[in-house]
Structure 1
Amino acid sequence: MTDRLSRRTILGITSGAIGSGIAGCLTGNSQEDDTTGHDHTDNHSDEGDHNESQDEETHSHGHGGELDSPSAEAEVTMATTESGAHFEPHVVWIETGGRVTWINESGSHSTTAYHPDNEEPQLVPDEAAAWDSGVLSAQEATFDHTFETEGVYHYYCTPHETAGMIGSVIVGQPDLETQPALEEPPSEKAESVREKLTGLNDTIRGALDNDRSDSEQNETESHDEHDH
């Protein structure tokens, strides 16, 4: 099984920790929240804190930044801040067979694939495996998933989906025209979710289009140098 919880996670998912963690995940008055997060307003900021050192290590940037090239591994933090609940960075790009590790920085969060096995619309490649961390409440709890299938993957936090806590993983060099994740967002989802998915898709398409343009330009320059 490619997914695994760290020993820190195991310590963090007792019933008491989950209860206190969910309360700690609130962005406002703790009495205004329930454990589903469906009554949250969309207070997720697209201009959340930007971790430059993490960007350099994973070759990716937060939402609204630039995505470079795929790396073997990537780390994504999960946090509750004054501006809302966040995955940071929102989008990571890894090689086929690469691994993503989610780290719970604060609050209570999950990383859960949009996959029929999770009773969700399919926003992952055909034949791709599902994952679901469950709600992680312990600080620094981690969850890993290895991505064996090339493509684009969308995932969400179960308590904070409608508050905009949604992220994406690009694996390899996928064909944009064959990705379920890049199709029109599911009509049954809340408008805040559909808007977030649309923004992520724009970021992903832009990154992959730029990468292909750079590759074509480099190939042309290489041929020109050879001809001379």
Structure 2
Amino acid sequence: MPTRRRLIAFTSGAISTSLAGCVTNSNSPASCTDDGNSGDSTDDGNGEGATSGSDEHDHESGHELGHPETQIDVRMESDGDCNHFVPHVVHIEEGGTVRWVLESGAHDTVSYHPNNADLLPSATERRMPEEARPWRSELYRTRGETFERTFEEAGIYDYTCTVVEHGHGPDRGQGPYGHHQTHEATGMVGRVIVGKPELDSDAQPALQSPADGLPDAAKRELEGFNKRTRAALEHPDEH
């Protein structure tokens, strides 16, 4: 018969598993978020939602929304079935540069724009200023590989990772991979805020509610980004 100590240990382990930030089962796609409900997360001043501590992935950074910088590095990381851009949201000056650096796994960075629909059907939703040019990096597999983009026009730019992991290694887009899913479906999306954009969803499509065609995990993240963006830019002196 199990001892009381063993029963307590087993129960604790089961609870920890149920609260993990990365959830995968045969009926639903993996969802990798800070607290399992990032759309309701609160701003902690650095562009990352306050977490419950259930996700051991390190999302900490010294970057504060509302205080744009001239250059920012964004790490592209994998942690088991979870994939992340870190920080999720960054704020740079007009003419500033974002450099994406591969830390682990295999990733790319692709803006939500109709020009990128061949890589990802959901990218047909433009979530960046109308006149701004889209971007798409190569697929990176080697730690330390980088992609840079300079943002000249003030605005809000959303992007994702189109990589899918399958039996033959990483690839891009939604090919014939059966049940395998893109990193976007696990919530690997990011945002770049440039300058001091007008917080008008007509001028900034990224502030609109995500389209129904996007994966649920990505939609939750983007909704959370909208809350953090408005909070930081409407009250910059509080951050």
Q: Please state which band the TM-score falls in when normalised by the shorter chain.
A: 0.5 to 0.7
**How far apart are residue 116 of structure 1 and its match?**
1.4
Tell me if the contact between 1:44 and 1:85 (Cα under 8 Å) persists in the aligned partners.
no
Structure 1 contact 91–167 (Cα < 8 Å) conserved: yes
Aligned pair 1:152/2:153, yes or no?
no
Aligned twin of 1:12: none
Instruction: Return the alpha-carbon distance in structure 2 between the equivalents of residues 141 and 184 of structure 1.
Output: 33
Asked if 2 retains the 8 angstrom alpha-carbon contact of 1:44 and 1:83, the reply is no
Distance in 2, Cα, partners of 1:172 & 1:41: 34
1:125 CA drift (Å): 0.7
Deviation at 1:28, TM superposition (A): 11
State the one-letter code of the partner of 1:44: T
1:161 aligns with 2:184: yes
The answer to whether residue 92 in structure 2 is matched with residue 94 in structure 1 is yes
Q: Larger helix proportion, structure 1 or 2?
A: 1
One-letter amino acid of the structure 2 residue matched with residue 175 of structure 1: E
Check if 1:180 corresponds to 2:205.
yes
Residues 1:134 and 2:138 are matched in the alignment = yes
Q: Quote the offset at 1:84 in angstroms.
A: 1.3
Aligned to 2:19: none
Taking only aligned residues, the RMSD between alpha carbons, in angstroms, comes to 2.3
Match of 2:68 in 1: 70
Q: Separation in 2 of the partners of 1:158 and 1:167?
A: 12
Give the Å deviation of 1:81.
Answer: 1.4
Shift of residue 195 of structure 1? 1.4
Correspondent of 2:34 among 33, 45, 48: 45
Change in Cα spacing, 1:139 to 1:28, as seen in structure 2 (3 Å) is farther
Shift of 1:82: 4.0
SS of residue paired to 1:92: strand
Tell me which amino acid in the other structure corresponds to 2:230: R
Residue in structure 2 matching 1:112, options 107, 110, 122: 110
Q: Which deviates more from structure 2 when the two are superposed, residues 80-89 or residues 121-130?
A: 80-89
C-alpha separation in 2, matches of 1:180 and 1:50: 26
C-alpha separation in 2, matches of 1:175 and 1:43: 30
| Structure 2 gap ranges (5+) | 1-21, 36-50, 52-56, 118-122, 164-182
Where in structure 2 are the equivalents of 1:17-32 lying within 5 Å?
A: none
Q: Contact 1:112 / 1:134 at 8 angstroms: preserved in 2?
A: no
- Counterpart selection for 1:143 from 116, 141, 147: 147
Distance 1:164 1:50 in 2: 14
| Equivalent in the alignment of 2:230 | 205
Alignment of 1:196 with 2:200, yes or no, is: no
Would you say the 8 A contact 1:45–1:84 is kept in 2?
Answer: no
Structure-2 separation of matches of 1:126 and 1:205: 20
User: How big is each residue's C-alpha offset from its partner over 1:47-70, in whole Å with a ceiling of 9 and x where there is no partner?
Assistant: 431344xx2xxx33xxxxxx2400
Identify the structure with the greater strand proportion: 2
